[in-house]
Structure 1
C-alpha cells in the first residue's frame, strides 16, 4: 500500500484511458490535497449522527414505556361490553344481573381431507426449510467453481419453465370441470397469449443482453468467492432478523393491550333509548401511530444494519493481504454497526423508510386516479425526481460508511465524489447479474415445487389443495433463496466501492477483481466493447 504522496488518481495511470496533459496532472495534484486517501478504518471510530441515534432511542423508549402503561391501565371489561346494561338511576352502564355465558356450539369434527391437508402442508413446509440451507450452500459452491456452466445451462430454463407452466395450467383448466365452467374459453386463450407475450419479452431481454452474460459470470464468481470467505455472514444475518422479530413481539402485544384502554359508556340511539358501547381513550390512535412508526423505522434500520455488517466484513477481506485471512471481521462490523455508527445506520434507515413510504403513496395515487390533471402530473414528476435523487445518493452511502466510519452526509458526498473522480456510476454496477440470480432462484423454486407436487400427488391426492401446498412451498423457498440473493447483491456493491477506492489510489488489492470490474462501463454514456477490454479473460 503506497503512501498518500506517492499515489495518483487511477484514471491518469489507467492504460485503457488516453494520456493526460500537464494541466490534468496539476488538477489531479490539487485533488490529492482536497481528497485524502480513502482506506478501511480499523482504528477508533467516533460516534456519528448522534441526533438521529437519540431520536431513535427516544422513540423506542416511548413506545415501550407507553405500552407498559397501557398494559397496566387496561380495562378487562372490554371483552364483556355486550353484557353491560344502562342503569337510569345512576346514568351509567353496569353489568347485567345474570351473567351471560355464550354457548359453545359443538364443533364439527375435522374432515379427513382437512386433516390430511394440514399434515401434508406442515410436513412440506418443514422439509422445505430443512432443504433450503443445503440448496443455498450448493448454489453458492456451484457459482464459485462452475459459474459459467450454471449461468449458461440455466438460461434456457428461464424460457422453458414459464412455457411449461403456461401450457400446463391451460390444459389442466380445460380438463377440470370446475375451472372450465368458471373460466370461459375466450378468457383462457387471452391469458395464454398474454403470458406467451411476456415470455417473448424475456427472450428479447436475454438476447439483447447476451454480450454481458460473460461479465455476469465473472461477477457472480467473484461475489461467491467473497461470500464463501465470509461464510458466517449467512448465519449472522438471519440471526439479526430473528432478533428483530423478538424485538417486535412486545410491541405487537402492546398494540393488542392498548385497545383495552377505554370505558363502557351509555349512548343514546335514534329511538331515544340508551345502550352501552365501548369507547376507546383518545390517545390510543396516537399510540398506534407511534408504535407503527417505531416498527417501520426499526425494520428499515435493521435492513441497513445488515448492509453495514456485510459491507464492513467484505471490505476487510478485500483490503487484506493475499494469503492472509483477516480475523474477527464480522465481530468488528457488528461492533461498529451497533456502536459508533449506529446513528448513521438509523439515519440511513430513516431515509430508506421515508423514500419507500413516499414512493408507495405516489404509486397508490397513480393507480387510483383515472383522470390526471396537469398540476398532479407535475407534482408526481417532481416527487419521482426527488425519490430518484435520494436513491442515487443512498445507493452506496451505507457501504462507504461501513468502510470509513464517516457520518451519513459525509459518506454520501464522499461516495459521489469518489465515483465521479474515477468515471464510475452510482446508478450502475451490473444489473444483469441480479436478473440472472432472480431467474435462477425462480427456476430452482419452480422445479422444487413441481417435484413436491408430484410426490404429494402420488402419496395422497388432495385435489386442488395439492396445488396450494406446492405454491406455498414455492413461495417459502423463493423467500429463503431471495434472502441469499440479497446478501450476494450487497457483496457485489461492496466490492464495487472497494474497487473504486483502489482505482482512486492507483492500487490493486485483488488483481482478479480488477480484471473483471475494469470491464464495467466507466459512465452511463460510456459503454466500451467487452471484447476490446477483456483479452485476459478469453
Structure 2
C-alpha cells in the first residue's frame, strides 16, 4: 500500500513535490523569501509535511515556562524553609492559654491535661482489624505486580479470548454485586432499619438501569470490538518490547511523592506561623491564635505549585512513553532500542521540560475552569447557565482538539508546544485522521477488564476473610480496600496502554504522511480506523490551493 523508505535521523526532511510517495492531500509549504548571503540566516521553520523521530541533540524549547515553573518551585521551598525556622511551637496550645487581666496578655498554664483515653480505646478496639487490613493491602500490593505483567502478556498473546471472555463479566459482576448487596441488606436487621426497603429497591433499580446503559453501549459498538481487539494486541506488543517503562514510570511516581513530602511539611509548619493574642467579645477577653498575614498567600503558592507539578508529571510520563514507543516504531532493528528509554528521560527532563511544564499548566488550567464552571452552574439562572455551558464546552472542545496528541508529537520531534500543536493538527488534517478519536472502545474495554479482574480478586478476598478468618462484616471493608488497590495498579497498566495506543496512532499518521511503512502490523490494523469526515473538505481545499 505504501512505498517503504529508510528512516532518517532528522525530525524534518525535504522531498520534491513530485515524489510518488507524497500523500495526495498534502501540500508542500513554500520556502521563505531568500535573504542576502551576508545576512544571518534565520532558523528554518519546521516543515510539517515531513516528520520522523528526531535522534539528534535537541535545543531547549518553551524556556519561559521552564523558568516560571522553576521560580514557583524555588519560592515554595524558600518560603517553606522560612516557615519552619519562624514557626511558633505554642500554636497547638492556643486553646489552653489563659488571659491575664492584670497584664492584659495571655500566658501558658504550667500543666496541660491531654485527654487521650478515647483515642487509645478506639485504637485498641480496632487494632485487630487494622492489622488484617495492613496485611491484606501488603499482600495485594505484592500480588499486583505479577497480576499486571500477567494481564499484559495475556493481552499480547490471547487478546481475543481475554476481551470476549471479559465482556460478559462487565454485566455479570455488577448484577451479582447488586443482587448480593440487596439480599444482604434485607436480611440484616441493622441495615434494614437504617435503610428502608423502598430506598433499597430504588437503589437496586437504579444500578440495573446503569448496567443496562453499559450493555447498550457495548451492543451498539459491537461491530468495532474486533478492531478493538487488534488495536489492544498491537499496543500490548509494543509495550512488551519496552518493559523498562514499568520500572521507570513507578520510579517517577515515587520520586514525585518524595518531592511532595517537603511541601506538605512546609504547609504544616506554615500554619504555625503567628502568635497568641488576647481578643475581646462583649467585654470578655480570651486568648486566640492570630496567623501571620503572609501564610494564606503561601498556601495559595504552595498548593498551586503542587497541582502544577502533578499535571507536569503526568505530561512527563506521557512524553517518556511516547518517545520510547516512537523509537521502537521507527527503528528497523529492536537491538537499537537499549538507550531509547534513557534518551526519552533525558529529553523529557532536559530540553523539552519547558514544553512539559507548559502542557501541564494548560491541562491544569482547563481542569480548573471546568471544575469552577460545574460548581457555579448550581447558583446561576437557567439562560445564564445554558450560555455559560455552551461557551465552556466550545472552549473545551477547541482545547481537546488542539491538545490531543500534541505532547506525543513533541516527544517525537522535540519541537515546542505551540509548534507541535500546529503540526499535529495539520498532520491529521492532511491524512483525514481525527484529533479526538483513536478508538474509544479500546479504553472502555481495557478499563472494564481491569475492573473485572479486580472485582474477582475482591470477591475472593472477602470470601477468605469471612470464611477462614471470620471477621464478620468488616471483611466487606477490607475486601473493598484490596479491590481498590488492585484496581489502581491495573488502571496504571491500562493508562500506559492507552498512551501507547495514542503514540502508535501518531506514528502511523507520520507514516501515511511520508509514504513509509515502518511497522506493517500497525498499518494492517490502523488502516481500518474511520476517517474524519470533518477534514475532507478542508483537505480538498488545501490540495487544490
Calculate the TM-score normalised by the size of structure 1.
0.90
* Contact kept? 1:9, 1:503, Cα under 8 Å: no
Report the alpha carbon displacement of residue 29 of structure 1 after superposing the two structures with TM: 4.9
8 Å contact kept, 2:106–2:278? yes
Q: Deviations over 1:7-33 (max 9, x none)?
A: 8799976xxxxxx6xxx7xx7455799
Instruction: Give the 3 Å change call, closer, same or farther, for CA 103–343 of structure 1 in structure 2.
Output: closer
> What are the within-5 Å matches in structure 2 for residues 436-515 of structure 1?
436-515=445-524
Aligned to 1:287: 298
Q: 1:361 to 1:8 in 2, by over 3 A?
A: farther
**What is the CA-CA distance between 1:116 and the residue it aligns to?**
2.9
Residue of structure 1 in register with 2:309 after alignment? 298
Question: In the alignment, which of 7, 15, 24 is matched to residue 5 of structure 1?
Answer: 15
Do the aligned partners of 1:7 and 1:505 also contact (CA within 8 Å) in 2? no
* Cα gap change, 1:213 to 1:7, in 2 (>3 Å): farther
Checking the alignment, whether the CA contact within 8 Å between 1:446 and 1:474 is kept in structure 2 is yes
Mapped to 2, the partners of 1:226 and 1:321 lie a distance apart of 14
Local SS of the residue matching 1:265: strand
Which of residues 396, 399, 410 in structure 2 aligns to 1:401? Answer: 410
Which of 174, 180, 188 does residue 200 from structure 2 map onto? 188
SS for the counterpart of 2:337 is coil
Offset at 1:101? 3.9
Give yes or no for the alignment of 1:228 onto 2:237: no
C-alpha deviation, 1:75, in angstroms: 1.2
User: How far apart in 1 are the matches of 2:31 and 2:157?
Assistant: 40
Unaligned runs of 5+ in 1: 14-19, 528-538
Of 328, 341, 363, the match for 1:352: 363
Give the equivalent residue in structure 2 for 1:536. Answer: none
Q: Secondary structure at the match of 1:76?
A: coil
**Conserved in 2, the CA contact under 8 Å of 1:311 and 1:403?**
yes
Per the alignment, in what secondary structure is the counterpart of residue 118 of structure 1?
helix
CA deviation vs aligned residue, 1:292-348 (integer Å, no higher than 9, x gap): 000000000000000000000000000000454422111000000000000000000
Going from structure 1 to structure 2, the CA distance change for 1:79 and 1:498 (only over 3 Å counts) comes to: same
Once the two structures are TM-superposed, the CA of residue 492 in structure 1 deviates from its matched residue by 0.5
Cα deviations across residues 275-299 of structure 1 (Å, max 9, x unaligned)? 2211000111000000000000000
Aligned-pair distance for 1:377?
Answer: 2.3
CA–CA distance in 2 between the matches of 1:348 and 1:500? Answer: 22
1:307 counterpart = 2:318? yes
Contact 2:65-2:357 at 8 Å conserved across structures: yes
Q: State the Cα distance separating 1:524 from its structure 2 match.
A: 4.9
In 2, are the aligned partners of 1:428 and 1:524 still within 8 Å (CA)?
Answer: no
Residues 175 and 526 of structure 1, relative CA distance in 2, 3 Å threshold: farther
Structure 2 residue runs without a partner (length 5+): 7-12, 33-46, 537-545
Aligned partners of 1:8 and 1:506 also within 8 Å: no
Bigger mean CA offset, 402-411 vs 161-170: 161-170
SS in structure 1 opposite 2:99? strand
- Structure 1 residues 11 and 463, CA, compared in 2 at 3 Å: closer, same or farther? farther
Q: Partners of 1:148 and 1:526 in 2: how far apart? A: 32
1:251-400 maps to which residues of 2 (within 5 A)?
Answer: 251-270=263-282, 272-322=283-333, 324-366=335-377, 368-369=378-379, 372-400=381-409
Q: Relative to structure 1, is the Cα distance of residues 500 and 31 closer, same or farther in structure 2, using a 3 angstrom cutoff? A: farther
Change (3 A) 1:147 1:439: same
Alignment-derived partner of residue 434 in structure 1: 443
Once the 2 structures are TM-superposed, how far is the Cα of residue 186 of structure 1 from its aligned partner? Answer: 2.0
For 1:247 and 1:393, the matched residues in 2 are separated by 31
Match of 1:64 in 2: 77
Q: 1:458 to 1:103 in 2, by over 3 A?
A: closer
TM-score by length of 2: 0.89
Q: Distance in 2 between matches of 1:36 and 1:525?
A: 20
Distance 1:100 1:113 in 2: 27
Task: Check whether the contact 1:8–1:504 (CA below 8 A) recurs between aligned residues.
Answer: no
**Which residue is equivalent to 2:542?**
none
1:135 to 129, 147, 151: 147
- 2-structure distance, mates of 1:94, 1:318: 71
Larger deviation, residues 260-269 vs 219-228? 260-269
Q: Which residue of 2 aligns with 1:167?
A: 179
Aligned-pair CA distance for 1:89: 4.7
> How big is each residue's C-alpha offset from its partner over 1:53-104, in whole Å with a ceiling of 9 and x where there is no partner?
00000000000000111111111121232343334454333334x4434465
Shift of 1:135: 0.6
**Match of residue 42 from structure 2:** none
Counterpart secondary structure, 2:531: coil
Q: Decide whether the 8 Å contact of 2:178 with 2:207 is kept in 1.
A: yes
Q: Distance in 1 between matches of 2:387 and 2:51?
A: 41
Cross-structure match for 2:157: 145
Separation of aligned partners in 1, 2:187 and 2:410: 58
Q: Report the equivalent of 2:60.
A: 47
Conserved? CA contact 1:11–1:503, under 8 Å:
no
Structure 1 residues 89 and 135, CA, compared in 2 at 3 Å: closer, same or farther? same
Name the CA shift for 1:59/1:80 in 2 (closer, same or farther; >3 Å).
Answer: same
Structure 1 residue 526 displacement after superposition: 9.4
Q: Deviations over 1:478-514 (max 9, x none)?
A: 1111111111100000000000001000110000100
Native 8 Å contact 1:11 1:422 kept in 2: no
In structure 2, what is the equivalent of residue 532 of structure 1?
Answer: none
Q: 8 Å contact 1:9–1:504 — kept in the other structure?
A: no
Higher mean C-alpha displacement, 33-42 vs 155-164: 33-42
Tell me the number of residue pairs that the alignment of Structure 1 and Structure 2 aligns.
Answer: 512
Q: CA deviation at 1:525?
A: 6.0
For 2:425 and 2:116, locate their aligned partners in 1 and report how far apart those are by CA, in whole Å: 66
Shift of the 8–208 alpha-carbon distance from structure 1 to 2, 3 Å rule, reads: farther
